[in-house]
Amino acid sequence: MQQDQAYLLRQLSNSTPGHSRKSRVVTIASGKGGVGKSNFALNFALSLIAAGKKVVLIDLDIGMANLDILMGLNPKYHLLDMIKHKKSIWDVLEKGPNQLEYLAGGSGFNHLHQLDEDERSFFFHELEKLHGYADIILIDTGAGLTLESQQCHLSADEVILLTTPEPTSIADAYSVVKMLHSQRPSLSFQLVINRVSNPKQGMEVASKFKSAVQSFLKKEIKIFGAIPDDPYVMQAVLKQVPFTLAFPRSSASSTIKRLAERFVSGTPEPKDNGGIKGFIRKLTRILDK
Ligand SMILES: Nc1ncnc2c1ncn2[C@@H]1O[C@H](COP(=O)(O)OP(=O)(O)O)[C@@H](O)[C@H]1O
Ligand SMILES: [Mg+2]
């Protein structure tokens, strides 16, 4: 076959689900609730798309799922429909703004443990179809150390950990790192300080956090960045439009866009990146324990 023909066929096969693009599975974590995790997940996802990546956002904050509220959408199906009614992932992936695809969390069950053998394997089988479909799979999880969140973080390729500068939020975020590190020392963390008064405060809080983790846990975590406390975020939440779309030039929007660009161009993937298949393999091992 001619080289150009081979090239064309390769390109064509790249545009259909199931080619060999390895998805990077990133979970969003926090200690305390209400620190801005869901807003970050949604707007980071949209900014990654703007930076040229194909992104699937999954709401695994089971019971408290609210990404759809932040987008003003009323999803037709959610995770539980997929599992209970054996719907294909392609039927339940909702379309958000700007080619965002997301799996709504909904409520109805609280634990992956509540799924029977058959439901769980169906769920994992459907999730596995995302292999090669998305460049990045972002997972919003419940706050703190719920069993569910722990299991997700421990199975991910990397964790973006959010805290505000408040001591309570920092202490809880530290407990999350400590706990996860004790179970999987190789897990990679990227730290984001949300709602900072100014960049200097962000850097100070981040460096102190990083050195505490270094001294007490002998672990290296990466400082990803700091997002300003920005009144436009709340305004966007009230409008039910993601803040990067409602107020694209606000300070929170321009910061998160820069973070996404850096994530795409400058952040190497962790060595043990297993993609969605690795995520499912690790999660299965944890659930079977
Ligand atoms: N950078 C920010 N600046 C100002 N307010 C913010 C910022 N990030 C989050 N918030 C506020 O915090 C609230 C909670 O955010 P949310 O993303 O729902 O938190 P979580 O998912 O961690 O519970 C938002 O509704 C918004 O009012
Ligand atoms: Mg949330």
Write out the residue range of the structural domain in which residue 151 sits: 27-288
Query: Angle 268-157-86 (CA atoms, 0-180°, nearest 5)?
Result: 135
237 lines ligand 1 (CB under 6 A): yes
Flag whether 143 is in a domain.
yes
User: Is the Cβ–Cβ distance between 56 and 138 less than 8 Å?
Assistant: yes
Beta-carbon contacts of 93 under 8 Å, excluding residues fewer than 6 positions away, are: 56, 101, 102, 103
226 lines ligand 1 (CB under 6 A): no
Segment 203-256, tens digit of pLDDT: 999 999 999 999 999 999 999 999 999 999 999 999 999 999 999 999 999 999
Nearest-CA residue for atom 23 of ligand 1: 34
Nearest-CA residue for atom 8 of ligand 1: 36
Flag whether 13 is in a domain.
no
Segment 191-212, tens digit of pLDDT: 999 999 999 999 999 999 999 9
Flag whether 241 is in a domain.
yes
CATH number for 98: 3.40.50.300
Distances (CA, A) of 94 to 56, 58, 205, 239, 251: 10, 10, 37, 20, 29
36 lines ligand 1 (CB under 6 A): yes
Distance 61 CA to ligand 2 centre (A): 7
Flag whether 190 is in a domain.
yes
Nearest ligand for residue 34 CA: 1
For the chain, what is the domain count? Answer: 1
Query: What pTM did the predictor assign?
Result: 0.91
Distance 149 CA to ligand 2 centre (A): 12
